[in-house]
Amino acid sequence: MALTKAARERNERRTVRRIFTMTLIARTPVSRNTTRFTFTAAEFADFEALGPDEFFALIIPVPGRDLPPLPAVDEDIREIINTIPEDVRPEVRWYTVRAHRPALAEIDVDIVLHGDSGPASRWATDAEPGDVIGFRESSAPYIAPEGGRQLLVADETALPALAAILEQTPAGLDTVVMAEVPGPEDIPAIATDVEIAWFHRGDADPGSALLPALEAVVTPHLSALSYAWLCGERALATGSRRWLVEAGFDPDQIMFSGYWRLGQARG
Ligand SMILES: Cc1cc2nc3c(=O)[nH]c(=O)nc-3n(C[C@H](O)[C@H](O)[C@H](O)COP(=O)(O)OP(=O)(O)OC[C@H]3O[C@@H](n4cnc5c(N)ncnc54)[C@H](O)[C@@H]3O)c2cc1C
CA of 158 to the centre of ligand 1 (A): 10
- Chain centre distance of CA 211: 20
Which of 3.30.300.20, 3.40.50.11540, 3.40.1030.10, 2.40.30.10 would CATH assign to domain 15-137? 2.40.30.10
Nearest to 225 by CA among 152, 163, 168: 152
Phi, psi (5° rounding) for residue 67?
-65, 140
- Closest residue (by CA) to atom 45 of ligand 1? 114
Out of 34, 157, 262, mutate this one to test ligand 1's pocket (max ligand atoms within 8 Å of CB): namely 157
User: Rounded to whole angstroms, how far apart are CA atoms 233 and 262?
Assistant: 7
Confirm if 60 and 134 have CB atoms less than 8 A apart: yes
* Full DSSP string of 145-166: -SSSEEEEEEEGGGHHHHHHHH
- In a 3-state reduction of DSSP, which class is residue 252? helix
What is the full DSSP assignment across 161-177?
Answer: HHHHHHHHPPTT-EEEE
Alpha carbon of 7 to ligand 1 centroid (Å): 23
Distance 266 CA to ligand 1 centre (A): 7
Neighbour count for residue 1 (Cβ, 10 Å): 14
The pLDDT value recorded for residue 172 is 85
Q: How far apart are CA 139 and CA 52, in angstroms?
A: 10
What was the pLDDT predicted at 251? 97
- Residue 260 to residues 61, 112, 155, 230: CA-CA distances in angstroms? 20, 11, 10, 13
Question: Can you tell me the distance from the alpha carbon of 191 to that of 174, in angstroms, rounded to the nearest whole number?
Answer: 16
Which residues lie closer than 8 Å to 148 by C-beta, 6 or more apart? 174, 224, 225, 226, 227
CATH 3.40.50.720 fits 149-260, yes or no: no
Residues of the chain with pLDDT under 50: none
User: What's the pLDDT at 238?
Assistant: 98
Pocket test for ligand 1, best of 113, 230, 259, 264 (most atoms within 8 A of CB): 259
CA 91 to each of CA 32, 38, 64, 118, 130: distance values in angstroms, whole numbers, following the listed order: 26, 20, 14, 10, 20
Predicted confidence (pLDDT) per residue in 5-37, tens digit? 999 999 888 989 999 999 999 999 999 999 999
What residue owns the CA closest to ligand 1's atom 24? 118
Q: What is the whole-number distance in angstroms between the Cα of residue 145 and the centre of ligand 1? A: 28
Q: Which amino acid is at 139?
A: S
pTM of the shown model: 0.97
**Per-domain boundaries in the chain:** 15-137, 149-260
